[in-house]
Amino acid sequence: MEDCIFCKIIQGEISSDFIYESDTVVAFNDVNPIAPVHILIIPRVHIASMNDINSDNSMIIADMVAVAVEIAKDKGIEKDGYKLLIRTGKNGGQEVSHIHLHLIGGAPLHEDIHSL
Ligand code: 5GP
Ligand code: ZN
């Protein structure tokens, strides 16, 4: 989709090193990390928000979660734990209108709704 930052990252128009990529999803470091591990997992197809998920396309969420867990194990943060987060809409704090799952960990995360 035009003017979508994350579509541009997928298409290579904005440079970002992919930590993982498959037919359906890609993962890369958040440009503004709030923890030692802060990775975004996104679908290759443009889906604006969770409000666009339905029974026909919800498998993409399962793909994103499975990749996040795989990366967490690869980074060695699974035993101490981590946070998976999908923000939705204005009140959810969503800034980029292309669904993304945050994988956040590597340090204790405090329940600060403004930073997390
Ligand atoms: P949201 O607030 O929508 O859940 O999260 C958007 C995230 O995307 C933020 O954590 C922000 O740092 C990250 N972000 C925004 N633009 C870019 C970019 O161009 N490259 C990367 N790697 N991350 C970005
Ligand atoms: Zn997009």
Ligand number with the minimum distance to the CA of 7: 2
Domain 5-115 superfamily per CATH: HIT-like (3.30.428.10)
Mean pLDDT of the chain: 94
Position 75 confidence tier, pLDDT thresholds 50, 70, 90: very high
Which residues are tagged catalytic? 100
Residues contacting ligand 1 via CB (< 6 Å): 5, 14, 16, 28-32, 40, 87, 93-96
Between these two residues, 66 and 1, which has the higher pLDDT value?
66
Ligand 1 probe mutation, 7, 19, 50, 95, most atoms within 8 A of CB:
95
Position 16 confidence tier, pLDDT thresholds 50, 70, 90: confident
pTM (2 d.p.):
0.95
CA 105 to chain centre: 13
pLDDT at 1 over 80: no
Dist. CA 81 → ligand 2 center (Å) = 29
pLDDT at 115 over 60: no
- The ranges assigned to domains in the chain are 5-115
Please tell me the residue having the least CA distance from ligand 1 atom 18. Answer: 31
Identify whether the C-beta of residue 14 lies closer than 8 Å to the C-beta of residue 53: no
The confidence score (pLDDT) of residue 110 equals: 72
